[in-house]
Amino acid sequence: MPGLVFTHVPAYGVWGEPLKERVECLDPGTHRVAVYIWVGGWWTKPTFANPTVPIAADGTWSSAITTGGDDELATRIAAFAIPTTYTPPLLGGSATLPQELYDAAAAHALVTRDASLRRISFSGYTWQVKESDAPVGPGPNRFSGREEDVFVDADGYLHLRIARHGDAWWSSEVICDAPLHHGRYVFTLRGAVDDLDPNAVLGLFTWDTDAPEHTYREIDIELSRWGEADAPNAQYVVQPWDTPGNRHRFDLSLSPTSRTSTHGFGWYPGIVYYQSLAGAAPFPQPAARALHAWEYAGVGVPPANGSGNARINLWLLDGQAPLDGRPVEVVVESFRFIPGTSRDPEPAAFFLPLVMP
């Protein structure tokens, strides 16, 4: 399926950095990209004289988005992959993006920039760092934007922490700028994620704030004992979790000599499959090689529409302190997204057991 993926979005208020992105499943020779930013209205970028940018042979492209006025204060950025034969409209403060753009585009993407949110680069994507001084969901928790709680190290690994600051505990979350599509979402982790504090929850998931009718397109891998020291420490969920058959709980056990693990799900029309694998492994593997595998084909599989995003969070159940009173840290080695509209023709052994509630 054709797609656009933002790989670098300049932070709000920054002048001179280009927007960077790549296209998926499109011929660079027959398409260009039209970019628009919102500063009190929609404006064509880079300029009226050059309203589109070319796509390189490897599918990457970049565009200047600060070329005049208060461009660095843009709060929304839209990109459309359009045929070279199509002339996009020139916008100079329009209240809306014309429907003809959507009709002509092979793919489009939209990102929102918040002036108060920090951004980091990880695994080739830009991520917002969630911040809240007041308790909010999940939990509810306070979410820290401090650099010591959310950072990327010299090896390019993402660190998320639960930490105490003052008299309160703070959780952490990052939100990928890349839009939501069908395909494979793959997270490689380092450390003893099978032995988190019972009150801690590590979430690897999709979310679309604008889709409450589809339970926010939430598909989860969650590593947690949910406050019970002897409970299973992992679960796969297609929300809503309390619908019978939508949640699969299990015990994840990693080798004490190799604490790297890979966790992923493939999301396609009408079906989601999950696997947890030892090491930094290609995803998926035959089920016999997986630490755990599960497939869901119930009525709750949400459709994809190119909005929303992937997220990673580390938070406290009901906002309670860790049972041992110590900070919690998780290291994410990488995140990969492999777009696709249908499940690859892999052996049925990859996807056991099948669940049809």
Each residue's pLDDT tens digit, 23-49: 888 899 999 999 999 988 899 999 999
Residues of the chain with pLDDT under 50: 345, 347-357
N-terminal to C-terminal alpha carbon distance within the chain = 29
> Could you tell me which of 178, 185, 346, 189 has the C-alpha nearest to residue 265?
185
Q: Give the pLDDT of residue 343.
A: 66
CA neighbor of 114 nearest in space, from 124, 125, 123, 127: 127
233 exposed, middle or buried (CB, 10 Å; 0-12, 13-18, 19+)?
buried
- Domains of the chain in start order, with CATH, are 3-112 (2.60.40), 118-355 (2.60.120.200)
- pLDDT at site 344: 57
**What pLDDT is attached to residue 14?**
80
CB neighbourhood size of 248 (10 A): 19
Three-state DSSP at 101 gives helix
Distance CA 137, CA 257 (A): 35
- The predicted pLDDT at position 206 comes to 96
Q: What is the pLDDT of residue 354?
A: 33
Residue 305, phi then psi, degrees to nearest 5:
-140, 10
**Residue 19 to residues 26, 36, 37: CA-CA distances in angstroms?**
19, 11, 11
